[in-house]
Homo-oligomer: A and B are copies of this chain.
Amino acid sequence: MNRPNRPKPTLMPSREQGIALFTDLYELTMLQAYRELGLAEREAVFSLFVRRLPPERNFLIACGLDRLLGELEALRFGPGDIEYLAAQSFKPDFLDWLAAFRFTGTVHALPEGTPFFANEPVLEVIAPIGAAQLIETLAINRVGFETIIASKAARVVEAAAGRPVIDFGGRRAQGHDAAVEGARAAFVGGAAATSNVLAGRLYGIPVAGTMAHSFVQAFTDEMEAFRAFARIYPDTTLLVDTYDTVEGVRKVIALAREMGAAFRVHAVRLDSGDLLALSKEARRLLDEAGLATVQIFASGGLDERKIAGLMVAGAPIDGFGVGTDMMVSADAPAVDIVYKLTEFAGEGRMKLSAQKRTLPGRKQVFRTTIDGTAEGDMIARYGEPLPGEPLLAPVMRDGVRLEPSPPLAAVQARARAEIARLPRALRALEPAAEPYPVAISPALQEYEAEVREKIAARNVQPKA
């Protein structure tokens, strides 16, 4: 049932409808105040970045930009939205302004599929402060979630060491939006396919899936279920663990004898029990029966550590279905991703809170490479001429996307290539002994000190 990437269909309802209200109330409260104070149209720069990598991540993979940009282009307050806000005591003049609101900002961003590190801007929004503020919730949500899943999937794919990983996680995802966008993000992170049909339709991701235990249970005996299914889908995968896995494999072998040349079953799937022992036994039985081409596919509570363990132990498994743990990024279901004002009315801005560093002003990130391996990044002021590859690129100007989104397969390929460029220790599942070097350019450090001093002088009394 797998198919290569196909273009997006056109008949889906617009998923952007209603998205303008996907914001925190304080964004609107502040926006109304900015307008009353005559500040709403003054230019601001906001920076989206991750404060700290989760303990078990050596890097993150940027993802979620595509949908965000589409939503920014489509963002409108509909009549029902305005009516609701009127009932929340917002003022008529402000509501009229909202009804006519369009996002007209400029966005620079890391291309989807780019590995990045703590404190590096994933995107920068340059826009009137009202508009830039309004999209905070949406921007954090979109980029944060897909980034988490793409990053988790990259670990699972790394562990599978070349065997295909299929996303089975839709049912345990946190809502259907998470299932669909998560399937996309997992594909970017290297998954080969998804079981989620809606994600397949929306993003052209190959879809996969054959049978559940219930199909086997619906028959009086398992053999009968296999026989019926293989007649309808000759090249299918048969699920063999409903009653007894080894017995199930024996029935597949019996079916092969029964069907002779017509037997084309592609694989058996193990979904419970000791996957190492069972895969070895299944392989042995299949090989002895001359069914060396029948593959073994495993699923059931898998994550990158279990898969790595199976691979190290030499489990003869040809592919993995990974569900819950990948689709909710169970060991790191959220990251500390924030969207902070860094410049307003031409002046650098920052908080002074300890442990919550915000680098002021517009920025660029340069990645330097030696012999094909990334050796370090430098966060710099925008416009600094530094060596290395600049990672942030303009993706939207005055509210209009500069380029259509690249095909998803190209994003996946970019992620794969960029991950391959990272130092080997970073690609391991374990935390790297030395984190990837991310420096701050002298000019940016100087600017940070200057802004800090200026703000502190105005806002904090010297301690006695």
Interfacial residues, chain A to chain B (CB-CB below 8 A): 1, 3, 6, 9-14, 17-19, 21-30, 32-34, 36-37, 39, 44, 46, 78-81, 83-85, 87-89, 129, 133, 136-138, 140-141, 144-145, 148, 168, 170-182, 195-198, 200-201, 207-215, 217-218, 220-222, 228-229, 232-233, 236, 241-244, 247, 272-273, 324-325, 328-330, 333-334, 337, 340-341, 344-345, 349-356, 455-456, 458-461
Min CB distance A438 to B, Å, is: 23
Known: A11-B79, A23-B197. A144 touches B172 (CB 8 A): yes
Q: Can you name the residue of chain B whose Cβ is closest to the Cβ of A2?
A: B88
Known: A218-B129, A341-B217. A30 touches B212 (CB 8 A): yes
CB distance A144 to B129 under 8 Å?
no
What are the 10 tightest A-B residue pairs by CB atom distance, in nearest-first order?
Answer: A11-B80, A25-B209, A177-B177, A26-B209, A175-B177, A174-B174, A214-B341, A333-B333, A140-B171, A174-B178
Q: Can you name the residue of chain B whose Cβ is closest to the Cβ of A25?
A: B209
Q: Can you name the residue of chain B whose Cβ is closest to the Cβ of A347?
A: B220
CB distance A24 to B195 under 8 Å?
yes
CB distance B26 to A455 under 8 Å?
no
A sample of 5 inter-chain contacts (CB < 8 A) reads A13-B14, A22-B179, A137-B196, A175-B175, A243-B460
CB distance B176 to A182 under 8 Å?
no
Min CB distance A327 to B, Å, is: 8
Name A218's contact: one of B80, B170, B341 (CB within 8 Å): B341
Min CB distance A191 to B, Å, is: 14
Taken together as a complex, chains A and B put the C-alpha atoms of A88 and B46 apart, in Å, by: 43
CB distance B195 to A25 under 8 Å?
yes
CB distance A200 to B22 under 8 Å?
no
Taken together as a complex, chains A and B put the C-alpha atoms of A181 and B179 apart, in Å, by: 14
> Can you name 16 extra interface pairs (CB under 8 A) apart from A32-B232, A175-B178?
A9-B83, A13-B13, A22-B179, A22-B180, A23-B197, A29-B211, A33-B228, A34-B218, A140-B172, A141-B175, A141-B176, A172-B337, A176-B177, A214-B341, A217-B349, A273-B354
Name A352's contact: one of B27, B78, B140, B244 (CB within 8 Å): B244
Contact residues in B for A46 (Cβ distance below 8 Å): 214
